[in-house]
A and B are shown apart, each in its own frame.
Chain A
Amino acid sequence: MTAGSDVAARLAGFVAALRAHGVRVGTAETVDAARAVEALGLADRALLREGLAATLLHTTGQRQLFDAVFDLYFPRAVGAPDGEPAGREELRDRLAAALAANDTAVLGRLAVEAVDALGGYGSSPGSGGWSSYQTLERLRPQTLLAQVRDDMRARGGGAGFAGRLLEEEIRRRIEEFRGQVAAEARRRVAERRGRDEIARRAVATTADRVDFLYAGKDRLAELRRTVQPLARKLATRLAARRRRAARGTIDLRRTLRGSLSTGGVPVRPVLRRRRPARPELVLLCDVSGSVAGFSDFTMLLVQALHDQFSKVRVFAFVNRIDEVTGLLTHGVADAEGLSGRIRAEARLTGWHGSSDYGVALGEFAERYGAAVGPRTTVFVLGDARTNMADPNLPALKRIAAQARRVYWLNPEPRAQWGTGDSAAPEYAGLVEMHECRTARQLGALVGRLLPV
């Protein structure tokens, strides 16, 4: 076993792990990566990281995932740090000093020591592990904020205008330290359980593959930033579909009529011309807690696409329904507070706070029935969990009869449809229901289903 083949094997494993997370890496790129390793050498880890990123990645969104996997396959160190594990108080003191000095190298070393000293659980080999959660719970770096701030103020770091930024800056450093601890814990676990398995399971995947239902706050914020690029991409796709559709099918009657002049041979086929009509779109969004993230994202996406349609109307409901189109248009700058604003300004709940699809659909059919016409495509967004109330199928049937098409996008996995209080199968019997768990699925569905 030579050193060369060892590096090659390591690289191949690394590439396989990236592929498992949906990064498309071809063989040619892997060869390039190997040439990059040859040119850069293995001595400097930071250079190696940048070199591999340049050769293997193609878009910016993949970088976070890449860094996490890289830390596993090309770890900073092997095994436990040297020396006696330090106590909690000592670690906290050193951490405070490092945060005040903003010394990244020392912070990295502290993360290693902290996981070693505080993060281990279980004693028998094979069952134990290293937990970043436990480390951070015991170390509580966030409680150092005041101490570090006062320390820096005392030494004159907080003077002048920039002083008011101090707290925010320290908070960011602490956040960074938490990330380092998480990476270190992953590395230690990977040593014990096998790298490939941890790379597959413990590394957070790219934002567009995260389930809407389980996405955390920062993941949703990350998703919101992708709305505009995604909308642009979809608009291009819609335009292409529209171009193709405009060609139309063969008009048999006029083709035959034209063939009379050539003795009955249809030399020139006449195509049916399509009337250019920009379709209308109506969105019915469940904004109750469980699916709010999904609805928010979809509303923003459709709003970003609004110039593709002659009219877009958005309705939100929990157990009462109200129109929120106005809130979306002038709220472009503040996507973050969207759901809060909808809840504050629209009447969405009646006697209780849980979602009721039957009542909401019934109210929509009654009050806003005029919004749906033969050119309207309706999208219903929600998990179809009625909290045991009547699903009110006739109301949906009425909407479906009036509209051109009705689609239902459900953020739950298909396997859970119909379990518990879900009325998904009943609704799916009336309208087309699609599973839509991630931003990637949503993009694909929207590109395919939106009318042209």
Chain B
Amino acid sequence: MFTSVDDVSARLAETGYLASPAVATTVFLAARLGKPLLVEGPAGVGKTELAKAVAEVAGARLVRLQCYEGVDEARALYEWNHAKQLLRISAGRGESWDETRDDIFSEEFLLPRPLLTAIRGEEPTVLLIDETDKADVEMEGLLLEVLSDFQVTVPELGTVTATRRPFVVLTSNAGRELSEALRRRCLFLHIGFPEEELERRIVRLKVPGLDETLATSVVRVVGALRAMDLRKLPSVAETIDWARTLLALGADTLDETVVRDTLGVLLKHQDDVLKAAAKLDLDAV
């Protein structure tokens, strides 16, 4: 898939995803070793975006499984199409029992869900299992077979093994501790807040109209906010939002009033806004 780590960075950058060295290295290894990639980090640093970018680079189909509390086998793996099975039974009146029974448990009546779709696909596939921490513990057990051997067992049909291994990305916000067994099967990548230089490049890329010096100041202010002890630290997504806001307001430089008025774009809690305003001396003048 990729020839080197630099190749990963360059090709991801073409799709508009600027990867830090850590991200590029881990993606390269995941492709090379054929292991799933578990991505953790705060909200809004581009975990889901990474999977999309990889799919675009590899020219692969993106299959997405969005996890939520209560997601189960029928939603994640496969389901029998009961309505169609009933139709088949009533249509085949006069058949012997054996014929009907064998018939209604065949491929035709199987509804593949994301995991099975990704395993069975012939073309290159990126499987994104989003917000794994939201799913219940039972779901993890289900993932183990898929992630270690890339196969799915359907009792009536037998085991379906991947002809072509999908590139698997799992994301997690660490809302719940994932089990050790699941972690052991994956390469682990923590995407934190980017370095100042990288973040400036991201802002320049996503908000092209923004002036160079203003972009620098924006990133520096966000960096200072992240060093504070706040309830919710501003993420890359917020930085970009803020840059867009400043652009829309037509601000050329940052000053007291602009920052005070737009702080709500960066910080989502009132306590945080007050605290940051105090630390940045916003009310001093």
Interface set of A (CB-CB < 8 Å, partner B):
24, 26, 28-29, 32, 35-36, 39-40, 46-47, 50-51, 53-55, 57-60, 63, 160-162, 164-165, 168-169, 172, 221, 229, 232-233, 236, 333, 336
Q: Is the pair A39, B33 in contact by a Cβ cutoff of 8 Å? A: yes
CB proximity to A under 8 Å, residues B129-172: none
Which of A51, A57, A160, A221 has a CB less than 8 Å from the CB of B25? A51
Please measure, in the bound complex, the distance between the C-alpha atom of A50 and the C-alpha atom of B37, giving whole angstroms: 14
Query: Given A172-B227, A336-B229, A36 and B29 touching (CB < 8 A)?
Result: yes
Query: Given A50-B21, A54-B25, A32 and B33 touching (CB < 8 A)?
Result: yes
Q: Is the pair A54, B188 in contact by a Cβ cutoff of 8 Å? A: yes
Q: Is the pair B21, A47 in contact by a Cβ cutoff of 8 Å? A: yes
Q: Is the pair B189, A333 in contact by a Cβ cutoff of 8 Å? A: no
Min CB–CB distance A304 → chain B (angstroms): 14
Min CB–CB distance B218 → chain A (angstroms): 9
Q: Is the pair A54, B187 in contact by a Cβ cutoff of 8 Å? A: yes
Q: Is the pair A24, B29 in contact by a Cβ cutoff of 8 Å? A: no
Q: Is the pair B190, A161 in contact by a Cβ cutoff of 8 Å? A: no
Please measure, in the bound complex, the distance between the C-alpha atom of A118 and the C-alpha atom of B224, giving whole angstroms: 33
Q: Counting CB contacts under 8 A, is B74 at the interface?
A: no
Q: Is the pair B40, A60 in contact by a Cβ cutoff of 8 Å? A: yes
Min CB–CB distance B280 → chain A (angstroms): 7
Q: Is the pair B5, A47 in contact by a Cβ cutoff of 8 Å? A: yes
User: B177: which A residues are within 8 A, CB to CB?
Assistant: 229, 233
List 10 A-B pairs, Cβ < 8 Å: A29-B184, A40-B29, A54-B26, A59-B188, A161-B217, A161-B253, A165-B223, A236-B176, A333-B269, A333-B271
Please measure, in the bound complex, the distance between the C-alpha atom of A168 and the C-alpha atom of B259, giving whole angstroms: 18
Please measure, in the bound complex, the distance between the C-alpha atom of A32 and the C-alpha atom of B187, giving whole angstroms: 9
User: A46: which B residues are within 8 A, CB to CB?
Assistant: 21
Query: Given A54-B26, A168-B224, A333-B231, A162 and B187 touching (CB < 8 A)?
Result: no
CB proximity to A under 8 Å, residues B257-285: 259, 269, 271, 280-281
Q: Is the pair B254, A161 in contact by a Cβ cutoff of 8 Å? A: yes
Give the residue name and chain of the B residue nearest to A28 (CB).
B184
Q: Is the pair B5, A58 in contact by a Cβ cutoff of 8 Å? A: no
User: B180: which A residues are within 8 A, CB to CB?
Assistant: 24, 58
Please measure, in the bound complex, the distance between the C-alpha atom of A392 and the C-alpha atom of B188, giving whole angstroms: 53
Q: Is the pair B216, A162 in contact by a Cβ cutoff of 8 Å? A: yes
User: A36: which B residues are within 8 A, CB to CB?
Assistant: 29, 33
Please measure, in the bound complex, the distance between the C-alpha atom of A36 and the C-alpha atom of B255, giving whole angstroms: 48
Q: How many residues of B contact A (CB 8 A)?
A: 42
Give the residue name and chain of the B residue nearest to A44 (CB).
B5
Please measure, in the bound complex, the distance between the C-alpha atom of A28 and the C-alpha atom of B221, giving whole angstroms: 44
Please measure, in the bound complex, the distance between the C-alpha atom of A168 and the C-alpha atom of B222, giving whole angstroms: 13
User: B30: which A residues are within 8 A, CB to CB?
Assistant: 54
Interface set of B (CB-CB < 8 Å, partner A):
5, 21-22, 25-26, 28-30, 32-33, 35, 40, 174-177, 180, 183-184, 187-190, 213, 216-217, 220-221, 223-224, 227, 229, 231, 253-256, 259, 269, 271, 280-281
Give the residue name and chain of the A residue nearest to B185 (CB).
A28
Min CB–CB distance B174 → chain A (angstroms): 7
Please measure, in the bound complex, the distance between the C-alpha atom of A26 and the C-alpha atom of B281, giving whole angstroms: 51
User: A55: which B residues are within 8 A, CB to CB?
Assistant: 29, 33, 187
Which of A162, A236, A333 has a CB less than 8 Å from the CB of B217? A162
User: A24: which B residues are within 8 A, CB to CB?
Assistant: 180
Q: Is the pair A162, B21 in contact by a Cβ cutoff of 8 Å? A: no
Please measure, in the bound complex, the distance between the C-alpha atom of A416 and the C-alpha atom of B161, giving whole angstroms: 59
Which of B25, B28, B33, B190 has a CB less than 8 Å from the CB of A35? B33
Min CB–CB distance B283 → chain A (angstroms): 13
Give the residue name and chain of the A residue nearest to B259 (CB).
A161
Q: Is the pair B221, A165 in contact by a Cβ cutoff of 8 Å? A: yes
Query: Given A50-B21, A333-B271, A161 and B223 touching (CB < 8 A)?
Result: no
Q: Is the pair A169, B220 in contact by a Cβ cutoff of 8 Å? A: yes
Min CB–CB distance B233 → chain A (angstroms): 11
User: A333: which B residues are within 8 A, CB to CB?
Assistant: 231, 269, 271
Q: Beyond the given A59-B183, A161-B254, please list 6 additional residue pairs across the A-B interface where CB-CB is below 8 A.
A: A36-B29, A40-B28, A54-B26, A57-B188, A221-B229, A232-B176
Min CB–CB distance A327 → chain B (angstroms): 16
Q: Is the pair B183, A58 in contact by a Cβ cutoff of 8 Å? A: yes
Min CB–CB distance B100 → chain A (angstroms): 38
What are the 6 tightest A-B residue pairs by CB atom distance, in nearest-first order? A161-B254, A50-B25, A162-B217, A58-B183, A54-B26, A165-B224
Min CB–CB distance B282 → chain A (angstroms): 10
Please measure, in the bound complex, the distance between the C-alpha atom of A233 and the C-alpha atom of B32, giving whole angstroms: 34
User: B271: which A residues are within 8 A, CB to CB?
Assistant: 333
Q: Is the pair B224, A63 in contact by a Cβ cutoff of 8 Å? A: no
User: B229: which A residues are within 8 A, CB to CB?
Assistant: 221, 336
Which of B25, B183, B216 has a CB less than 8 Å from the CB of A40? B25
Please measure, in the bound complex, the distance between the C-alpha atom of A161 and the C-alpha atom of B26, giving whole angstroms: 37
User: B40: which A residues are within 8 A, CB to CB?
Assistant: 60
Q: Is the pair A162, B254 in contact by a Cβ cutoff of 8 Å? A: yes
Min CB–CB distance B148 → chain A (angstroms): 10
User: B216: which A residues are within 8 A, CB to CB?
Assistant: 162
Please measure, in the bound complex, the distance between the C-alpha atom of A39 and the C-alpha atom of B32, giving whole angstroms: 8
Min CB–CB distance A283 → chain B (angstroms): 24
Q: Is the pair A164, B188 in contact by a Cβ cutoff of 8 Å? A: no
Give the residue name and chain of the B residue nearest to A50 (CB).
B25
Min CB–CB distance A219 → chain B (angstroms): 15
Please measure, in the bound complex, the distance between the C-alpha atom of A407 and the C-alpha atom of B189, giving whole angstroms: 40
Give the residue name and chain of the B residue nearest to A55 (CB).
B187
Please measure, in the bound complex, the distance between the C-alpha atom of A46 and the C-alpha atom of B189, giving whole angstroms: 15
Q: Is the pair A47, B176 in contact by a Cβ cutoff of 8 Å? A: no
Q: Is the pair B224, A169 in contact by a Cβ cutoff of 8 Å? A: yes
User: A172: which B residues are within 8 A, CB to CB?
Assistant: 227
Q: Is the pair B189, A54 in contact by a Cβ cutoff of 8 Å? A: yes
